[in-house]
Amino acid sequence: MAGMASKSVATLSLTFRSLAALRRKHPSPAFSYFHRSFADAPSASDVALSQTNDGTAAAETPPSQPARSSPVELLFIRPDVQQILSRLTGRKMEKILSRRQVKDLRRSEVKLLTEDQLNRIREEKLREMEERLQMPPVLPARQPREQVIVKDPLLENYDAHKHVFMDITYGVKPRNRKGYVRELDGTLRTVTWEELDRLNNTYFPVEGRDIDFPAVYEEANLQAALDKGFHEYLLGRAVVQFEPDNPDYIRVTRMIYEHIDTHRKYDVLDSTRFMGGLVFYLVSQKKADNFLMRLLQNNRMDVVMDLLQLHYILHPEKADAFQKAFDGSEISAVKYYIESEAVRKGNLELAVQAYQETLRQQREAGATESGDSDQAKIRANV
């Protein structure tokens, strides 16, 4: 009996390896890891049956899925929030469409184009720019999914290794694949998220994704890389390496955002797909004072109002009072925020005063230029 069981397991393992090799020869279409629906929770009909110790059938609860109506997710995907984050991202074309490091170098081409051809190429580049600026989603951390199906003491110490059983059916979404582990003590359980990620990457490898946890994301190494200015690279690799609801992804991105805010290096993510996530994190955590100060110092009052609007969408407790205090003056809106919400009130008040002084000087300079122009016209007429 034991020999038959060992032979069955060996056959199953061989079948998995054969199917994996076949799958690599005929890969399925690439999965869109950051634009798939996360609402694919199993229905009641998906509940599987397992065999208990006494021979009765017990229902296996499907693995837990990310919450369908998570407040964080709902706020991030709101159309008005997406529009605000898009405006706050910036549109520096020379940065967005700049040359990037690639494996194969391509020779530059110079073409002679008509006006219509040039306009079509511009439209293509604008579409490419918007694609490059598509923001990774913001999701809450996923909940544990492993569940014990059955405990069978008769199988305790049956083998020196755990046995893993994985469903590699073609066309099933990676998150929804069934996986089971037989522990050394005879316990049969569903796989953890970490085990599922590892198994998915074994049978359905994603280009750029390592099976083992990358050493660069260990806290000490990550801090050293941030000090050297690799913020965008680290975020880009994290998007490939982790699922957006992976606790490691959330930890890494938050650590990068905190480093940027502490050192006020907002420009490193300006006009990148990660700027929206940075702003959303700072506003949701009520840590946007430094970023607001930077916008005021750069005379970006247009996006300052977007930032304040985002703040009161995520924190609506004082939204009504803000609307009443806002008399149509942008300065009044900023001052109300500073008085009622800001932590670094003194620094922000100085930034507002400097902004008002800059506006006054610009108006005076404009009036002087207008007066000189009028006098020149009078002399010309005489």
- Rounded-to-integer distance, Cα 379 and Cα 373, Å: 10
The DSSP letter of residue 267 is G
Both 20 and 126 in one domain: the answer is no
Examine the pLDDT at 13 and tell me if it is beyond 60: no
Task: Give me the amino acid identity at 213.
Answer: F
Output the pLDDT for position 53: 39
Residues 197, 189: Cα–Cα separation, whole Å: 16
pLDDT digits (tens, 9 = 90+) for 177-195: 999 999 999 999 999 999 9
Shared domain for 262 and 134, answered yes or no, is: yes
| Last residue of one domain, picked from the residues 240, 257, 285 | 285
With cut-offs at 50, 70 and 90, classify the pLDDT of residue 279. very high
**pLDDT, tens only, 237-253:** 999 999 999 999 999 99
Average pLDDT over residues 331-353: 92
Cα–Cα nearest to 174, from 17, 26, 38: 38
Bridge-based pairing state of the strands 187-190 and 179-182? antiparallel
102 in a domain, yes or no?
Answer: no
Please give the pLDDT value at position 369: 65
Q: Are 253 and 282 in contact (CB under 8 A)?
A: no
Number of domains comprising the chain: 3
Report d(CA 18, CA 57) in Å as an integer: 32
Residue that is written with structure tokens 């690279």 in the block: 233
Amino acid at position 139, single letter: L
Highest mean pLDDT among 227-236, 297-306, 368-377: 227-236
Instruction: Give domain status of residue 98, yes or no.
Output: no
- Does residue 236 share a domain with residue 323? no
Q: Is the pLDDT of residue 146 over 70?
A: yes
Same domain assignment for residues 297 and 350? yes
Average pLDDT over residues 152-174: 91
Sheet hosting strand 187-190, strand order edge to edge: 148-151, 187-190, 179-182, 163-166
- Whether residue 269 is found in the same domain as residue 295: no
Q: What is the CA radius of gyration of the chain?
A: 29
pLDDT reported for residue 373: 58
| Per-residue CA distances from 354 to 145, 185, 292 (Å) | 54, 70, 14
Same domain as 291, residue 357 = yes
Q: What pLDDT shows up at residue 20?
A: 39
Domain presence at residue 71 = no
The percentage of the chain sitting over the pLDDT mark of 70, rounded to a whole number, equals: 75
Q: Is residue 180 part of a domain?
A: yes
Within a domain: residue 166? yes
Residue 100, pLDDT score: 65
Better-predicted residue by pLDDT, 171 or 380: 171
pLDDT score at 57 = 36
Domain check: are 194 and 307 in the same one?
no
pLDDT single digits (tens) 335-345: 999 999 999 99
- The verdict on 126 and 255 lying in the same domain is yes
Question: Is the pLDDT reported for residue 133 higher than 70?
Answer: yes
Beta carbons of 148 and 182 less than 8 angstroms apart: no
pLDDT bucket at 37, cuts 50 / 70 / 90: very low
Identify the pLDDT of residue 95. 79
Task: Find, among 341, 236, 245, the residue nearest to 286 by Cα.
Answer: 341
329, part of any domain: yes
List alpha helices for the chain, DSSP H: 2-25, 71-76, 79-89, 93-96, 115-132, 193-203, 219-227, 231-241, 247-263, 275-284, 289-297, 301-314, 319-325, 330-340, 345-381
Q: What mean pLDDT comes out for the span 337-361?
A: 92
Q: Which of 252, 285, 318 is the last residue of a domain?
A: 285
DSSP code string of 35-72: TS-S-----GGG-EEEE-TTS-EEEEPPPP---TT-HH
Neighbouring residues of 226: CB distance < 8 A, sequence distance ≥ 6: 234, 255, 256, 259
In a domain, 127, yes or no: yes
- Please identify, among 267, 285, 303, the residue that sits at the C-terminal boundary of a domain: 285
Nearest to 295 by CA among 283, 287, 303: 303
The pLDDT assigned to 73 comes to 74
At 1 the pLDDT is 43
pLDDT of residue 47: 30
Residue 346 has pLDDT above 60, yes or no: yes
Residues 136 and 241 occupy one common structural domain: yes
280 and 294 assigned to the same domain: no
Shared domain check, 328 and 194? no
Tens of pLDDT, residues 281-324: 999 999 999 999 999 999 998 899 999 999 999 999 888 888 87
Whether 121 is covered by a domain: the verdict is: yes
For residue 105, pLDDT over 90 is answered with no
CA–CA gap between residue 65 and residue 41 (Å, rounded): 6
User: Do residues 220 and 136 share a domain?
Assistant: yes
- Residues 111-117: what's their mean pLDDT? 90
3 pLDDT above the threshold of 60: no
The residues that bridge with 48 in the sheet, in sequence order, are 60
Structure tokens at 237: 């690799």
What percent of the chain is predicted at pLDDT more than 90? 55
Domain of residue 317 covers 286-365
Mean pLDDT for all residues in the chain: 80
Is residue 152 predicted with pLDDT exceeding 50? yes
